[in-house]
């Protein structure tokens, strides 16, 4: 089962990397109806939670249903896009079809996956520590 990890301090670019790894597609994230910057955090984009959320991906959902579910649950808008960052026009296509069509035999890069997991772990570990004191 594929699991999307979301955290308010996660940047849009880190979320995009997760989507590339999990669903073999790109995403566009919107803040107040305009495209978010890659360095904006999910908290800035409207993510209401204050801790890590692990969200299982139901691959039987259509692209439209998946986008709407994320928007309803997590209060930020995203749109699934192809490799050229153009939104998919067939929103009734199911996620499992998207994964199969975009993977086109490409093997998942284990080093890339491990690096993404390390980045997520660092983000979470830094967040769990108390405020860092700076000596003057």
User: What pLDDT digit, counting tens, does each position of 59-103 carry?
Assistant: 999 999 999 999 999 988 999 998 888 999 999 999 998 877 655
Q: Taking the model in full, what pTM does it have? A: 0.75
Q: C-alpha 61: how far from its chain's center?
A: 16
CB 64 within 8 A of CB 37: no
Q: Please tell me the distance from the alpha carbon of residue 82 to that of residue 92, in angstroms, as a whole number.
A: 15
pLDDT value, residue 114: 54
**Is the pLDDT confidence value at 134 over 80?**
no
- Classify residue 133 by its DSSP letter: P
What are the distances in angstroms from CA 34 to CA 9, 52, 126? Answer: 20, 25, 29
Domain boundaries, the chain: 2-98
């Amino acid at each position: 089962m594929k699991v999307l990890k979301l955290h308010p301090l996660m940047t849009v670019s880190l979320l995009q990397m997760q989507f590339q790894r999990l669903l073999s597609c790109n995403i566009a994230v919107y803040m107040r109806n305009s495209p978010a910057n890659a360095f904006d955090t999910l908290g800035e984009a409207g993510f209401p939670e204050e801790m890590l959320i692990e969200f299982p991906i139901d691959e039987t959902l259509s692209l439209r249903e998946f986008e709407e579910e994320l928007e309803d649950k997590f209060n930020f808008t995203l749109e699934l896009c192809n490799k050229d960052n153009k939104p998919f026009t067939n929103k009734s296509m199911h996620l499992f079809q998207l994964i199969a069509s975009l993977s086109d035999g490409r093997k998942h890069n284990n080093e890339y996956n491990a690096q993404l997991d390390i980045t997520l772990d660092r983000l979470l570990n830094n967040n769990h520590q108390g405020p860092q004191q700076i000596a003057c």
